[in-house]
């Protein structure tokens, strides 16, 4: 690839900005400056120290939205990087830098694809939009979710959305994420009665009391999954009890756990079934729930077909659909958009030291996005 390739050039410009979550570091200004001359109305919906951009060209349906984030995770120890993480560097055909794969290369490919598509189809059907935030890698409480709320409040709906998350596994194009599992967490406090270990009859050990319920919860089959999702899983992430002394029976056992759940279950049903187990074991407890994302799924409709065909034509790769992995901002966008998928670069180096992307993947990535646009809006 030529060093003056526009996708590579923009990716390097974005990587050079120290946009550790939730700091945008001016990335959205760079992108808006490229979009405005194309006829995009660029609107900032900032709040809570987070920068958000909603940009739209056209007012007609269908609306095809590209979504992503400018923020990156912290670098980790700088001396572990071969080159400084915010100095984009090419070595042996590979572009290194924090955000190279997750997901500044996708953002650059979005912009270049849109520029080329608009130049070729200035009177295209429908509308093109971008929804970008600096709050995806962090708490995700003032980012995409707030933009979605603002759009919903004024009645704006999306038809198709491509989130630029790094979904590819072995080679660019091999995987599209067409949904994600839900994530439901809880902090459980099982109450006992503190006492001396030599006098257990004068105390109630909450660890002992919880152990049978723990075994039952761990062995429970919550659902069967479906054609898109594996069965729901329940995992303990932390258990703590005691004062640190070996002669004190603890008064409270605190347990943190998480459900990753398929669309065949709901947060409400999982909460109810958990409480039923705890109650049946006669536990005295308090429990706080946190739903960080509902499951969403996009079947084999027009968006999946358009993107799969674009990948095949550009890369000669037959892509697979997957719902594996954690959560993404697609969980928020699905509330106002009927078809949501994720597609982007190889994800092997994301969040790692020496994050990188193959230079020769950048132009094809932009070409896939452009061809998908043509199939949906030309």
Question: In the numeric block, which tokens belong to residue 115?
Answer: 């520029």
- Can you tell me which residue has the tokens 């004062």? 243
Residue 69 annotated as part of some ligand binding site = yes
The DSSP result for 45-92, as a single string, is: --BTTB-EEEEEE-SSSPEEEEEEE--B-----GGGSSS-TTS-EEET
Preceding peptide of 103 cis, ω within 30°? yes
Q: How far is CA 282 from CA 47, 82, 213, 279, in A?
A: 45, 56, 10, 5
Dihedral (CA of 343, 349, 351, 356) sign: negative
The reply to whether 102 sits in an annotated binding site is yes
Instruction: Tell me: is residue 165 an annotated ligand-binding position.
Output: yes
Q: Which of 250, 270, 268, 249 is nearest to 260 (CA)?
A: 270
Closest listed residue to residue 277, CA positions, set 225, 234, 241: 234
122: left (phi over 0), alpha (psi -120 to 50) or beta: alpha
Residues annotated catalytic, as ranges: 71, 136
Q: Binding site annotation covers 342? A: no
* SS3 state of residue 171: coil
Q: What angle do CA 301, 302, 307 make, to 5 degrees?
A: 105
| Binding residue positions for Zn(2+) | 69, 102, 137, 165, 351
């Amino acid at each position: 690839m030529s060093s003056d390739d526009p996708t590579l050039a923009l990716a390097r410009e974005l990587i050079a900005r120290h946009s550790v979550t939730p700091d945008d570091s001016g990335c959205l200004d760079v992108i808006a400056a490229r979009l405005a001359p194309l006829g995009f109305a660029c609107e900032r919906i900032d709040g809570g120290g987070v920068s958000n951009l909603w940009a739209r060209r056209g007012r007609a349906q269908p609306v095809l939205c590209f979504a992503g984030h400018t923020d990156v995770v912290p670098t980790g120890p700088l001396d572990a990087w071969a080159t400084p993480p915010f100095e984009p560097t090419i070595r042996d055909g590979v572009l290194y830098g924090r955000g190279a794969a997750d997901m500044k290369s996708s953002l650059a490919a979005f912009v270049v694809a849109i520029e080329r598509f608009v130049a070729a189809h200035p009177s295209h059907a429908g509308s093109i939009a971008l929804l970008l935030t600096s709050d995806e890698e962090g708490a995700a409480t003032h980012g995409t979710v707030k933009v979605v709320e603002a759009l919903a409040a004024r009645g704006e709906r999306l038809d198709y959305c491509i989130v630029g998350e790094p979904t590819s596994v072995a080679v660019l194009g091999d995987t599209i994420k067409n949904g994600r599992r839900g994530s439901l967490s809880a902090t459980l406090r099982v109450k006992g009665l503190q006492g001396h270990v030599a006098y257990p009859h004068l105390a109630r050990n909450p660890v002992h009391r919880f152990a049978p319920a723990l075994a039952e919860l761990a062995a429970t089959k919550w659902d069967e999954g479906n054609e898109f999702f594996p069965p729901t899983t329940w995992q303990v992430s932390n258990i703590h009890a005691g004062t640190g002394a070996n002669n004190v029976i603890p008064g409270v056992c605190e347990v943190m756990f998480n459900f990753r759940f398929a669309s065949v279950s709901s947060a409400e049903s999982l909460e109810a079934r958990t409480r039923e187990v705890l109650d049946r074991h006669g536990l005295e407890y308090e429990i706080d729930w946190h739903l960080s994302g509902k499951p969403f799924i996009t079947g084999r409709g027009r968006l999946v077909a358009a993107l799969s065909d674009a990948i095949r034509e550009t890369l000669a790769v037959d892509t697979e659909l997957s719902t594996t992995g954690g959560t993404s901002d697609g969980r928020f966008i699905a509330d106002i958009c009927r078809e949501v998928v994720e597609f982007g670069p190889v994800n092997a180096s994301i969040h790692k030291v020496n994050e990188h992307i193959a230079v020769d993947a950048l132009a094809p990535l932009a070409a896939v996005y452009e061809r998908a646009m043509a199939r949906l809006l030309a």
